[in-house]
A and B are shown apart, each in its own frame.
Chain A
Amino acid sequence: MALKIVYSVGKGGVGKSTCAGALALQSARRAATLVVSLDPAHNLGDVLDCALSGQATEVADNLSAIEVDMDAAIARYLADSTRKLQDMYGYLKTINIDGYLEAMKLSPGIEEYATLQVMEELISGAADRFQVLVFDTPPTGLTLRVLALPRVSLLWGERLAGLRRDILDRRQIIRNIQGERRYVIDGTEQALACEEKNDGVMKELNDYISRMRRLTQMQSDAAISRIMLVMNPDRLSLYETKRALTTLTSLGLAIGPVIVNKVGLKPGDEQTVLDIGRELGLPIKTIPFLPIEPIGVAALGSVADMMDFQEWIPG
């Protein structure tokens, strides 16, 4: 059975982690499930009332949970990405590679790519052991940027690959006239690549394109991925959900019913829920405001019993 992936998405404090935990518990009754918090300010462990770490911890029958240390993940991503650079450029006295790497650490997009890499590793690692993977995501803005990355990066990869092919074609023409061209850097002589199979840039671009295409297909396949949008019955939550919905729809992601959590805390919440349903144009499911916080596996199980969370499982 192929891995199914659910992303719990919503504004901070609306109950993403509670819903992710409840969905994961219900899913675990039928299939091996892993729930992962990618939020830098984790509270999945608080919700499950368990101490979690970067390694899968079994929190209930058929259910494991992880809290990813995002700072460590970013540091690891940078270390992985820059190791090759230091190997290749470390000996080149003309280039201050340390200065470049310091600048890269603060470059826009690095956090998003590190998050994407973590998600990719988790998806790949979970495929053997689990049937359902639930992501408790970071705040909406970062999540949307991460989910948009595969598409944007695929476009870049394809365009750059086209440009590189043109360069290789021209190199071949010159080679046919002048013979093989060689170059020397710091005393080392190498042949100039003229064909795709010998060109490191092209190989890297092709790997990158395949990776981004796979992620894009996985995201837009309704049988594999689904978004569980969580919100509260208030205007600010609605505005953010509407913006998120626009972006998620443009990315081709399947969006399940919207969960409106903590209904009944204020007078008029029921009417607000009806208004939300009309404005979003999606089916709405509600979770009432609970006087006692649903903390721990048993309490979350009760939340799961209140609704059919299976609706959010893709496929």
Chain B
Amino acid sequence: MENILALLLFSSFLGLPSPPSDLSLRLMPHMVREMHVMSRRASDLDDVSGEVAGMFID
């Protein structure tokens, strides 16, 4: 859990920065498949990262 928290807080230092929100919004309609796969995998993980990803998943 400590690792997950550290990853969430400091992922930008590991090369995982967030792109501008505007760009994410524009690309999202074209990435339905990727979102679908990501949400399925997140819900299958059964761990903290799955729960975190589940913030946007019913």
Contact = CB atoms under 8 A, between A and B. Distances in A.
Nearest to A99: B56
A150 B20 CA distance: 11
Interface string A151-184: 0110011001000000000000000000000010
A94 interface: yes
Q: How extensive is the interface on chain B, given as a class? A: 20 to 34
Contact of A89 (B23, B26, B32): B32
Contacts, number: 83
* Majority-rule SS of B interface residues: helix
Interface string B12-32: 000000011111011111111
A185 interface: yes
A292 interface: no
Contact of B56 (A100, A113, A203): A100
A96 interface: yes
Nearest to A83: B29
Q: How extensive is the interface on chain A, given as a class? A: 35 or more
Interface in B12-58: 19-23, 25-33, 35-36, 39-40, 43, 55-58
Contacts of A113: 20-22
A192 B36 CA distance: 14
A281 interface: no
A95 interface: yes
A92 B32 contact: yes
Q: Which of A87, A95, A160, A192 has the most CB of B within 10 A?
A: A95
A93 interface: yes
Given A84-B29, A201-B30, A95 B35 contact: yes
A99 B26 CA distance: 17
A201 B34 CA distance: 11
A211 B10 CA distance: 31
23 contacts: A81-B25, A81-B26, A89-B35, A92-B36, A93-B58, A94-B57, A94-B58, A95-B39, A95-B56, A95-B57, A96-B57, A153-B20, A160-B19, A185-B32, A185-B33, A190-B33, A199-B30, A200-B29, A201-B27, A201-B30, A203-B30, A204-B26, A204-B27
3 smallest CB-CB distances across A and B, nearest first, come from A200-B30, A113-B22, A84-B29
